[in-house]
């Protein structure tokens, strides 16, 4: 299938521009508004549409209303001058609440990937009445200082005893060339991004380059500023959350993680599950730090099963 054929099949929902916290947030929902709401929260530098349409379709077919959105500094949402208007994970969590408010969702099942997992965890701590269930996907425990861990790894410093492991060396190497200049044309952009996706995908499941190219082409076309998402790294480093806060989480919690995740090795998932009372840990064989469509069935099934545990 050619990339333009894939693009023509994109799923489109009911779109809104949510104005809150001094920014505009692009969002869309799918399914029956009367069904239980699942809020999909993407990771750092990632757009809401990077939640595969296949996952969205399966969740809707399973009786869920699904909302996905672009964080500030990604996609069609506002870009921010971080120097004059810095923000933290707490602010990104406030954005997520604003999206729920705009769609009239008093309570929701939260599914967060990577940085989105931290955002969802924070809401489960600070906004417990609004969280039906929590799914932390390809993430790590709230309060982890990832930026410091990565910096020490890049400098070749030894890990601090008891610290969660850093990203794998091949990923750190790929990250140094994964961000092309702001005025890169589409092909230059794609050429710079594919090596990173190969490493993030990991080497067990078949790598469908056409799928990743189509996804990145969509990202390129939708972005107001392709470099603005790098502010998410600064936001993550500016937080003051503590892993200890996860002990107060009362929402039924599922921790989903890939056995081959090069960004957050499995110890991160184990630590997240250990920190949240009653959390269930499910490791996905062969999965890296991406959401390839070959896993749509498995991921959607796990989310549907988990969200059935606590319906409003």
Helical axes 186-201 vs 209-222, angle rounded to 10°? 130
Distances in Å between the Cα of 286 and the Cα atoms of 33, 257, 298, 310 are: 35, 10, 12, 29
Query: Of the listed 114, 136, 138, 139, which one is catalytic?
Result: 114
3-state secondary structure of 310: coil
Query: Of the listed 232, 268, 289, 306, which one is catalytic?
Result: 289
Cα–Cα dist 279/254, whole Å: 6
Query: Of the listed 261, 268, 296, 306, which one is catalytic?
Result: 261
Cα–Cα dist 257/188, whole Å: 31
Q: Is 91 a catalytic residue?
A: no
List, in sequence order, the alpha helices (H) in the chain.
3-8, 53-61, 89-102, 115-126, 146-154, 169-175, 186-201, 209-222, 231-237, 266-275, 296-307
The alpha carbon of 162 is separated from its chain's Cα centroid by a whole number of angstroms, namely: 26
Phi, psi angle pair for 283, to nearest 5°:
-95, 135
308 Cβ contact list (under 8 Å, min separation 6): none
Q: Is 101 a catalytic residue?
A: no
Cα–Cα dist 221/75, whole Å: 9
Q: Is 261 a catalytic residue?
A: yes
Q: The tokens of 262 are what?
A: 């090069």
**Which residues are known to be catalytic?**
114, 261, 289
């Amino acid at each position: 299938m050619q990339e333009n054929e894939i693009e023509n099949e994109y799923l489109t929902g009911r779109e809104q521009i949510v104005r809150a916290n001094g920014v505009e947030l692009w969002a869309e929902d799918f399914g029956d508004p009367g069904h239980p709401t699942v809020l999909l929260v993407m990771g750092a530098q990632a757009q809401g549409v990077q939640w595969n349409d296949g996952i969205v379709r399966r969740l809707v077919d399973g009786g869920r209303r699904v909302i996905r959105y672009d964080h500030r500094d990604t996609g069609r949402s506002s870009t921010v001058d971080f120097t004059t208007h810095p923000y933290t994970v707490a602010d990104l969590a406030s954005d997520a609440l604003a999206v729920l408010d705009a769609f009239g969702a008093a309570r929701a099942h939260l599914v967060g990937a990577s940085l989105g997992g931290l955002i969802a965890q924070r809401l489960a701590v600070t906004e417990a009445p609004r969280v039906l269930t929590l799914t932390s996907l390809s993430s790590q425990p709230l309060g982890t200082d990832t930026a410091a861990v990565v910096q020490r790894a890049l400098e070749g410093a030894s890990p601090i005893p008891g610290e969660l492991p850093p990203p794998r060396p091949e990923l750190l190497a790929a990250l140094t060339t994964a961000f092309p200049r702001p005025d890169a044309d589409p092909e230059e952009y794609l050429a710079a991004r594919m090596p990173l996706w190969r490493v993030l995908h990991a080497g067990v499941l078949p790598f469908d380059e056409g799928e990743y190219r189509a996804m990145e082409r969509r990202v390129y076309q939708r972005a107001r500023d392709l470099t603005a998402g790098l502010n998410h790294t600064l936001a993550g480093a500016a937080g003051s959350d503590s892993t200890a806060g996860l002990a107060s989480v009362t929402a039924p919690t599922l921790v989903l993680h890939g056995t081959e995740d090069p960004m957050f090795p499995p110890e991160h998932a184990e630590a997240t599950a250990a920190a949240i009372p009653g959390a269930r840990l499910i490791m996905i064989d062969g999965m890296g730090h991406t959401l390839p469509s070959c896993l749509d069935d498995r991921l959607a099934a796990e989310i549907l099963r988990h969200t059935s545990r606590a319906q409003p």
